[in-house]
Amino acid sequence: MENLYEKIGGQEAVSKVVDVFYEKVLADPTVNTFFTDTDMEKQRRHQSLFISWVLGGPNQYSGKSMAKAHEGMNLNEEHFGSIATHLAAALREFSVPEEDIGQVLEKLTTMQDDILHK
């Protein structure tokens, strides 16, 4: 059975989803300030590997842990909600079914404790 990663077209498709995701994130004043001093090319690469894994693809991410990566950012539920909303919207633009988007958001929610209030 195909996982979501394969269903949407593998790494190339994930990279496109990540590009759309960051267009939305960088246009959102709720969360865009977190990326002011960020190397966005590197950020997109990391996010692409992370999203690939979330979608059931290979786990190639070898960066910092979620808690370490978000340390000092003091992200709250509103920030988390904005990011989740933008990811869902980006997946919708690539015709990913709502049921699959729900699974992705469910997986992200399991990481909330490692991300928020750090």
- Let me know if residue 33 belongs to a domain: yes
79 marked as part of a ligand binding site: no
Which residue intervals of 27-111 are DSSP H helices?
40-54, 66-69, 77-93, 98-109
- Let me know if residue 59 belongs to a domain: yes
- Let me know if residue 3 belongs to a domain: no
Q: Residue 72 and residue 110: Cα distance in Å, rounded?
A: 20
Lowest mean pLDDT among 51-65, 75-89, 92-106: 51-65
**Which pTM was predicted?**
0.93
Q: What pLDDT digit, counting tens, does each position of 52-64 carry?
A: 999 999 988 787 8
- Let me know if residue 40 belongs to a domain: yes
User: How many domains is the chain built from?
Assistant: 1
Q: Which residue range(s) make up the domain with 31?
A: 10-115
CATH of the domain at 23: 1.10.490.10
- Let me know if residue 15 belongs to a domain: yes
| DSSP label at residue 57 | S
46 marked as part of a ligand binding site: yes
- What tokens appear for 81 in the block? 């909600």
Q: What is the pLDDT of residue 61?
A: 79
- Let me know if residue 5 belongs to a domain: no
Which residue type sits at 60?
A: Q
pLDDT tier at 78, thresholds 50, 70, 90? very high
Q: Residue 118 and residue 52: Cα distance in Å, rounded?
A: 24
- What tokens appear for 91 in the block? 């997946």
- What tokens appear for 74 in the block? 């003091």
